[in-house]
Structure 1
Amino acid sequence: MSKKAIVIGAGIAGLAAATRLIHKGYQVQVFEANSYPGGKLSEIEKKGYRFDAGPSLFTLPVQVEELFLLSGKNPSEHFQYIKLPVACHYFWEDGNQIKAWSDINRFADEVESKLGEPAENIRKALKSSAFIYEHLSPLFMHRSLHKLNTWTNKDALKSYLKIGKLGIFSTMNKANEKKFTHSKMVQLFNRYATYNGSNPYESPATLNIIPHLEFNIGAFFPKKGMHDITQSIYRLAQELGVNFIFNSKVDEILVENKKAIGVLVNGQKYLSDIIVNNMDMVNAYKSILKKQKQPKFLLNQPKSSSALIFYWGIKKKFPELDLHNILFSDNYKEEFEHIFHKKSIYHDPTIYINITSVYKPDDAPEGCMNWFTMINVPNNQGQDWDSMIQEARKQIIAKVNRILKTDIESMIEVEDLLDPRTIESRTSSANGALYGNSSNNMYSAFLRHANYSSDIKNLYFCGGSVHPGGGIPLCLLSAKIMTEMVKET
């Protein structure tokens, strides 16, 4: 008879964990507090516009495809995507624009022609990023940092010999200042710290691993939108026999004799052989594990940044805009000072605009665009968000108008909003932080919760708040790492 597994949360990692556990021989139940799967990776539909509500960048599609291959299915029959010719279009207030072409040589040549930054510096930086990925990804992305064999295998031993070149002892900003002559290139490459909600002036230069994913491997776009990542894995899990129970908030993880035995949902006990928590680790310990020993040191670590997102239906097309667009602040360091130390929103924020209708025209009415307009903001510490949001909206609109030479507010016919408070309430993310603990020190990778409990037997963890971190690829890898620890039935 198959053993039972319960997964708490149908976020992207929970979906992947459920799928993988089926292949381990488990009967799997997933309890989800919301009425839909996907967590942050959901969608909004409003008056003819469709918006991907959460993560908008797609890298390492192999991590999605692997779930279908594991199930003996052809991934392309269930999930399709394209490689982007332009990873991102960058804008500055002084009129400079750079297209980050997926063709590295074309990107390097554009940077040299427009900014005077030697093309060779770009190629060297991306070669360095590939080097970091080669030596660190086997350790930090594909294995548990909390198991001895991670540190004693041949991949680890090989990396120890290269430790001085991996950026562990420098900040991201200092490393980039040495690589580039132009401040705009330093800023562009510093931006990758925001991919896990961190500060490039404090986070380790190991985060320079991220450009490798976007340039050397590639940035991609699902043909049906980002939400199709959720939907395709959800459909796969259902086909494999996973039982999803929505609108069912778990009240407690039941523990007896230091062993997880089930969950309590609406006063009813559901027993299981293993429990997988995909809920934010901090909020899980504060709520469903509040009777258990608390890992106070991890719980008290500084949290990542959050986001303020305006979903705007724009009744005009802007041919100069791509899928991913960045309108940079003129003072990047001060912007991060506000986010992480002043816990406020800088008056000149960097604006990210994601427009899926560029590649998926039916996401907006004809002649229109769907703008996912986001700025990085502090996590929720009880600030006066209503007044902060009102002021930020004015600043965003003013900046868009200056750079694109337009009157954007007159074109907004649909508007929705997501802020740190609603991120926290909808996704159980502690303080509305998008990526759990921040990566603002050299030890940050070691300050994430393990993919298992060292105190409670048969309790496992996956998702963006635990190892190896936030973002779609890492969440999927967290499910893989966790499942590899589970014995087959």
Structure 2
Amino acid sequence: MPQQKALIIGAGVAGIAAAIRLAVKGYAVEVFESNSYAGGKLSEFEQAGYRFDAGPSLFTMPQYVDELFTLAGKDPEQYFSYKKLDVVCHYFYPDGTHLKAYADPDKFAEEVNIQTGESINNIQNYYRNSNRIYDITNHVFLEQSLHRLKTYLSKQTVKSILRLFQIDAFRTMHQANQSFYQDKRLVQFYDRYATYNGSNPYRAPATLNVIPHLEQHFGAYFPDGGMYSITDSLVKLAQDLGVQFHYGQPVEEIVVKGGRAEGLKVKGTLHSADIVVSNMDVWFTYRKLLKNHPRLFPENILKQERSSSALIFYWGVKQQFPQLDLHNIFFSAVYEAEFNAIWKEKTIYHDPTVYLNISSKFKADDAPEGCENWFTMINVPANTGQDWDQLITEARQNIIRKLSAQLGQDIAPLIVNESILDPRSIESKTSSYQGSLYGNSSNSQFAAFLRHANRSSNVSNLYFCGGSVHPGGGIPLALLSAKIVSDWVK
């Protein structure tokens, strides 16, 4: 019997993971990527002696990466290594409060108590609640398809359904966080986790308070070669399994005949396949690659509100700041106003919360000696036609003013080179509709149930993975989407 072939659209981390899993199943796998490099958002670049991870910079739940090597019968340490962070992130508040988020939960609770006066008991109760939500949702809602009957027939699912009232879906994250904490700084701290999937804590369900558990319980890590080493190691694994990557080869069409995906058209040539997996944003998959089949469009999904986007300044800085760490957050003074600007006014708040990642703190050769590579990011709305050039100019000034005030030094003269990534370039480089980072937003009670399935209900042998489909965006969930696809495929 001839070997079956799987064709994958896009070499994002989910597409690579899907390729590995299907190769292990015995498929001949080929991946078509429009860019000249793999990784999608999880890519890298250099400028004037500074190296930057272009996209995701927080690494959690490394077991989902290790699992791919183990599945392939390989030793993960031969491909990929990482270290656990003792301090996940440094937080800076406008009132001068400086909070270190220690990985050790007891040490963190003590730090919070010292810096804010919040009781250790409140912190411990919060994490028990976060852990409970994880226990209920993980195996059912994250690791399996919500669009498959057998998911709902398992004992694990039945147990979870009977406990659904405990996942706190009928309050917003902000409302729930206010019920746990008296100190507004702690409420803001936990509201921030909504941004991990591009949502608004004043609208997103409190179910998302599961996210702190993922970070606190499983920890945060730094890959020894930087974030891009995740992509690099997985590509090497895939190639060792026989997967072929075709770079600079944008797919023009998913060829559908008789309700079945028969292959892909690339540069006018048909590449036949037994199955097709799209790692492209589901919006572009339909609007661009299936444009000849409008009856297939799931308009109710394609018209949903998109997640937020990002504005990133990659700065080469000719000085080192010992008070900063790998991950740093500088909070806005009025958090709700910042989210109103993003979600209601579709603009950038004048006092944005700034995330600053400095990988040279752990990987010294990412910057010249005595210097640092600053990945400086703020959350912004998805692109709906705003005047981004003007917004970027204003945001740059506001960010520099904010960081200079917090650090006690004018940082503008220290910036020796700069690159910028905004919602427009995010869309053009990664095919993420409107530059949204996580597909659709999670700003509704049932958003988790409304994401696109990992398998087409109208076209046989057509599957979907990546951050725009179930279970969601971010590296861990993107990897899980590939696992769900593999579970579907015979």
Structure 1 length normalisation: TM-score? Answer: 0.99
Structure 2: gaps of 5 or more residues: none
Match of 2:390 among 374, 387, 406: 387
Contact 1:112–1:119 (CA under 8 A) maintained in structure 2:
yes
- 1:187 deviates by 0.4
Q: Which amino acid aligns with 2:51?
A: R
Q: SS state of the match for residue 289, structure 2?
A: coil
Alignment of 1:99-114 (within 5 A): 99-114=100-115
Which residue number corresponds to residue 27 of structure 2?
26
Which residue number corresponds to residue 322 of structure 1?
325
Structure 1: distance between partners of 2:408 and 2:423: 30
Deviation per CA, 1:155-188: give whole Å up to 9, x if none: 1211223222211111111010001110000000
Q: Which amino acid aligns with 1:481?
A: I
Alignment of 1:25-424 (within 5 A): 25-292=26-293, 293-424=296-427
Deviation per CA, 1:447-480: give whole Å up to 9, x if none: 1110000000000000000000000000000000
- 1:71 deviates by 1.1
Q: SS state of the match for residue 393, structure 2?
A: helix
Match of 1:448 among 447, 451, 461: 451
Contact 1:126–1:216 (CA under 8 A) maintained in structure 2:
no
Deviation per CA, 1:109-142: give whole Å up to 9, x if none: 1111111111111111112111111110111110
Matched, 1:430 2:445: no
The count of corresponding residues between Structure 1 and Structure 2 is: 487
Deviation per CA, 1:232-291: give whole Å up to 9, x if none: 000100111001111001000000000000111111111000000000000111100112
After TM superposition, the runs of 4+ consecutive aligned structure 1 residues lying more than 4 A away are none
Structure 2: distance between partners of 1:156 and 1:3: 33
Structure 2: distance between partners of 1:95 and 1:124: 27
* Segment of structure 1 superposing worse, 218-227 or 150-159: 150-159
Structure 2: distance between partners of 1:485 and 1:282: 22
Q: SS state of the match for residue 152, structure 2?
A: helix
Deviation per CA, 1:52-76: give whole Å up to 9, x if none: 0000111110000011001111111
Structure 2: distance between partners of 1:35 and 1:197: 27
Structure 1: distance between partners of 2:440 and 2:210: 19
* Segment of structure 1 superposing worse, 144-153 or 348-357: 144-153
Structure 2: distance between partners of 1:147 and 1:7: 22
Q: Which amino acid aligns with 1:360?
A: K
- 1:151 deviates by 2.0
Q: SS state of the match for residue 125, structure 1?
A: helix
Structure 1: distance between partners of 2:214 and 2:278: 28
- 1:42 deviates by 0.2
**Cα RMSD (Å) of the superposition?**
0.7
Structure 2 length normalisation: TM-score? Answer: 0.99
Which residue number corresponds to residue 462 of structure 2?
459
- 1:392 deviates by 0.3
Structure 1: gaps of 5 or more residues: none
Q: SS state of the match for residue 415, structure 1?
A: strand
Q: SS state of the match for residue 409, structure 2?
A: coil
